[in-house]
Amino acid sequence: MPKKSRIGSIAWASQIQFDGQAAELVHPSKWISVDEDALTEERRELFLRRKKAVLDYFDGASDQMLKQRWGMGRSQVYRLISERCLKTAHDGYLFGWRGLIPHMRINPWIRQATPKIIPGSGAGSAGSLQWLFASPENRTLEQEFRERILKTPEGLEGTRRPKQVLLRWFYSKLRENGVERRGEWPFNTFQMGYTSLCKFINKVLNDNSKKSISLLGGPEAQKKSRAGDGTKRPMLELFQRVECDAHKLDLRMIVMVPSPHGGYEQRKIHRLWVIVIIEVSTRAVLGYYLSMRREVGAEDVLRAVRNALGKWERRAISFSEFAYSTEANFPSALDQKFIGACWDEFSVDGALANTCGRVEKRIKEVVDCKIIKPQDQRSFSSRRSLDDRPFIETYFRTLAGGGAGLHNLSNSTKSKLDDLKGDFEPAKKAHELQFQVEYLFELLDVIIANYNAVPHHGIGYRSPLAQMNFLASGKNSAFIRIADPHQVARLGATRKLCQLHGGKNTGRRPYFNFQNARYSSEDLAHRLDLVGDKFWLTIENEDDARWATVSTQEGLYVCTVRAAPPWHRTPHSLYVRSAIRALEIKRLLHLTFSNDAVEELIRYSENQRDKKLPVHPAYLEQRRILQAYSDNIAINPSINPMSLDSYTQKDCADFGCSCEIPEANKTEDAPIKNKKTKQNSKSQATIPAKNSAQLTMRKAKIW
């Protein structure tokens, strides 16, 4: 007769089944440990006695020895091991030492008899739901109920399904099976089994964590759950990666519009967006751009990149002389080596403004970096989680809230309506206080510059600027690439291959049709040999679409052309021009060659009858352009306001000048031989000064 293995030995463990667990896991050294100090004194003492008895049992202690030491025999210890420690827990592992915890339930209680509920007290209903699912007519009900709980909402059904909807469905199924007709549980109780059913629903959701996150938290929570805890995030070097995103400011602003009857009228603004570029390793904001359009466009992103590569200068703050802190700055103004510093990776979200071909092409040409976007399935950002760009999202929360956030203003709408206290109306406050958008330009610049000088907890309580200086002082300083200043200045340029029209057959001066306008110049008047050829037209200064440079397909510069009336007088952007064209199509504006199209737009916006009509974004864009145009003339009075030089910078050979306004190629017009033309030009010499004064008066700041 073969010798039987000793109970509790490894040989004995290999002879029995353990629900798929490996035989080596039977040994106590492989069991999951327990925090003994968390137990009460009484339960801790019993647990330790059981634990030491099990260890002695595996060491071969006799029955008498176990009783003398721990007060329990071999048979009792054997039952502790086989019926508790070696059972499979809900997590898929053996209970192990957890099975020795006093009053720890190992097997769920199963009802065997029909529930007999005492009326009025609810006693005797334990296990009724379990018994209901086990009944012959309801055997498939449990699986159907589980599928109903985990079902993805479809059609008009809301993403977050309340429990009442599930309970109504469950009760209707029971009625179909005759449970209510027979007077069985849950229809024979006062609460109709509400507590038991809610516990079952919660248990099903807890057992399917991923599905429950999608059902209860929605798409945003599902994206959040895909991210890790940040411990495996790679250590990035200086300028290895930047994050870029747009944030809609929760503010109500107004603009003071000059009235034709004298004084000013208040008009509210549609939306305000701020596009920020932040360097990951130092948390420093490299640059930003404030957009007043309804939605962020490719031009706004390119302007933010241009500002990040250009040199920052402090603004003249109208509301305080001490708004900027002592160390408030941007990296480009902190040290010359940071002007035009390029990055290796450009991390953005999936918005079209960030990932369109124009933006990707220009950034790769100027910065020579990799675009990290969700559309790339090989990228980690393809999961589309907010944690893919944690630093820029955290900064936006800092910009909005915190001790110096924009939400502290009375004209802020906060993040949600619940944050507004009482009958507070931000739009009304903006009108009462006359909080103009010009204040926001100054305030935003101050807040971001001060942020760069504040100690940050994520970088050892150094300020972002101090951390950047620290990282640049080591070996990383040699790897900082510098962008070409001329390419940076042309970053927002618009190019198109256009055909030269006109010539001998029509008798018209050669011209180009480009961006809803006709362009020509004196230089092209005598170049009839070029008619029919295609040339590259480039608007290098996106804020002054009156001028464009012409170059051949071989890259040779030809001349500078100017827009024909009515686009030749006032500086404007292509966005403003397209808005004017849209109004012209609607017959809201009537344009002729003798009118100034931009002045017509301003007059149309200011003369609206409905005083509550929001100001068109194109009007705000034109205000900004005219303000910069007037400021440039005020700084350089020798500039001819009607010339190409009036809105371009004198010298951008290096990054010492600000790249707020791109450089435009300057050419001298060919000498005009016609005396009549000379006389006309002399007679119009006084017109630019008059127009300039009108523009300055129209664009004067009213604080």
The predicted pLDDT at position 155 comes to 65
Q: DSSP code of 595?
A: S
- At 663-683, the pLDDT tens digits run 333 333 433 334 344 444 443
pTM score = 0.66
Q: How far apart are alpha carbons 84 and 96 in whole angstroms?
A: 8
- Looking at the DSSP bridge assignments, the partners of residue 496 are 537
Sheet of 241-248, strand order: 285-291, 273-279, 241-248, 345-347, 370-372
The predicted pLDDT at position 589 comes to 54
Whose CA is closest to 303, among 573, 681, 567?
573
The predicted pLDDT at position 694 comes to 37
Pairing of strands 241-248, 273-279: antiparallel
Euclidean distance between the first and final Cα of the chain, in Å? 106
Q: How far apart are alpha carbons 186 and 410 in whole angstroms?
A: 54
The predicted pLDDT at position 703 comes to 33
Distance from the Cα of residue 394 to its chain's centroid: 10
DSSP secondary structure of 321-336: SS-S-TT---HHHH-G
The predicted pLDDT at position 262 comes to 64
Q: What architecture is domain 241-489?
A: 2-Layer Sandwich (3.30)
In the predicted model, residues of the chain with pLDDT beneath 70 are 1-25, 120-122, 155-160, 217-220, 223-224, 226-230, 256-265, 270, 386, 402-404, 411, 415-424, 475-478, 583-619, 631, 633-703
Q: How many CB atoms lie within 10 A of CB 18?
A: 16
- At 556-581, the pLDDT tens digits run 888 999 998 888 888 888 877 877 77
The predicted pLDDT at position 257 comes to 63
Q: How many CB atoms lie within 10 A of CB 208?
A: 15
Q: How far apart are alpha carbons 407 and 397 in whole angstroms?
A: 10
Two tokens, residue 469:
């200086």
The predicted pLDDT at position 646 comes to 42
Map out the domains of the chain as residue ranges: 10-100, 128-225, 241-489, 494-698
Asked if residues 286 and 331 have their Cβ atoms less than 8 Å apart, the reply is yes
Hey, CA dihedral for 190, 192, 194, 199, is it positive or negative?
A: positive
The predicted pLDDT at position 159 comes to 61
